[in-house]
Amino acid sequence: MKQTFRLFLSLLFLSVSLPLLVWGFWPPRRETVVLPLLPAPGMPSLPEARTIRLEFSPVMRAGDSQIVELNLTADGEAADTSLYEEYRVIAEARLELPFANVRPADIVSTALGQGGAATFYWEVTPREQGVSRGTAWLYLRLVPQARGPAGETRGAVSAQSVAIRSRSVLGRTGSQARAMGVVGSLVGLWLGFPFLRTRRALR
């Protein structure tokens, strides 16, 4: 009778803990949005075709963090390189998510050379469960070289909507689910070990 009760408890702990382990450690699905780079109004266009890629997880575990990545890449060589001779091209980006902690929170920038790429990363941690909606901004800034035309120009070339849903299971965050899953699995295995040992001795 005692052995049967231990087996029942073992199966109960494992049936609850193993799904928590899977949910707590399973990598969230990543989503990639690809758009062509279009020139900002009133600004000269870059000489080569470029693509903007935004990658993030639309659904994540409550309490966890994720990395949002924005890439600007060239799709070929430029026939006319005079723009890079006249201007220093700078790519700037900012991620706005009002109900999440975003690092870095300010605008980040990097120089963009001929045929070069720019990559931006943000660490995002939603402050509460539910959907956090915001915008990933990408700007281009053209700074005149010494012999170039006067006047610095800056314009937004992309404003992509970002929606991230943060959810829990049984009211537990990701770290809580992982901890409960590990502890519960160990307890379940400990409770079931005498039954397995008895079965092996009977063979």
CATH topology of domain 27-168: Immunoglobulin-like (2.60.40)
pLDDT tens digits for 97-120?
A: 999 999 999 999 999 999 899 999
pLDDT tens digits for 3-21?
A: 677 766 777 777 787 777 7
Does the global pTM surpass 0.85? no
Tokens read off for 193: 């070990």
What is the C-alpha to C-alpha distance for residues 97 and 120, in angstroms, rounded to an integer?
16
What is the C-alpha to C-alpha distance for residues 154 and 42, in angstroms, rounded to an integer?
9
Q: Measuring CA to CA, how many Å separate 167 from each of 45, 84, 101, 183, 187?
A: 42, 46, 16, 22, 27
What is the C-alpha to C-alpha distance for residues 87 and 113, in angstroms, rounded to an integer?
10
Q: Measuring CA to CA, how many Å separate 24 from each of 21, 168, 182?
A: 5, 10, 10
Beta pairing class for 100-103 and 66-74: unpaired
Tokens read off for 183: 């502890």
Q: State the CB neighbour count (10 A cutoff) for residue 54.
A: 22
Domain boundaries, the chain: 27-168
Model confidence at 176, pLDDT cuts 50, 70, 90, reads confident
